[in-house]
Amino acid sequence: MVSKFIDHLEEGVIAFLLAAMTLITFFQVVLRYLFNTSLQWGLEATVYLFAWLILIGISYGVKAGSHIGVDALVNLLPAQGKRVAGVIAGMLCIVYAGFMIVGSWDYFETVYQIGVTGDDILIQRWILIIILPIGFLLLLYRLVQTTWRILRGEELGFRLADEAADSLREFADKTKT
């Protein structure tokens, strides 16, 4: 139930962020080329929206299995070896996410205490960067989820994007028609 909610929330926020970035950028272009003006806050808003998109997209990429990785050696291992490698990789990634949560929280807390505002967006910067600890918490959640599935035997390892297989499938589909 919670997992489905987080799935839908991630997808909805990603869609919203992409739409907002597209609209702001389009509006900026129209203003610049038709009216020789622009939104003072447009570029900064797009940068922060993109940062939010990346940080939410990292966790979504783990869920969707769309991150790239080098798995040539792991693919040579038997099933049990793949599981062990997946658990080790998962644990290392969990430790990394933990470090990033602590570091991003320290940064967020410092910015909050200082009370600095955005350069062009006149709101407190901590509101703009709250995605740092949230994004890494989402990543930790997805890494724990995936590592748990590997430990339970539901998966052999982390699902990674396989560009070569995707290209071969696409080529085969094109040659059939």
- What confidence tens digit (pLDDT) does each residue in 87-96 have? 999 999 999 9
> What does the alpha-carbon distance between residue 167 and residue 97 come to, in Å, rounded to a whole number?
31
> What does the alpha-carbon distance between residue 7 and residue 66 come to, in Å, rounded to a whole number?
15
Q: What is the pLDDT of residues 61-81, one digit of tens each?
A: 998 888 877 777 887 888 898
> What does the alpha-carbon distance between residue 117 and residue 113 come to, in Å, rounded to a whole number?
11
Q: Alpha-carbon dihedral of residues 158, 67, 132, 117, nearest 10 degrees?
A: 180
Domain count for the chain, please give it.
1
Summarize the confidence of residues 88-115 as an average pLDDT: 96
- Domain interval for residue 10: 2-176
Summarize the confidence of residues 40-55 as an average pLDDT: 95
6: left (phi over 0), alpha (psi -120 to 50) or beta: alpha
The token pair at 60 is 């979504």
Mean pLDDT of the chain: 90
Q: Is 124 exposed, middle or buried (0-12, 13-18, 19+ CB in 10 A)?
A: middle
pLDDT of res. 74? 81
Residue 134: pLDDT above 80? Answer: yes
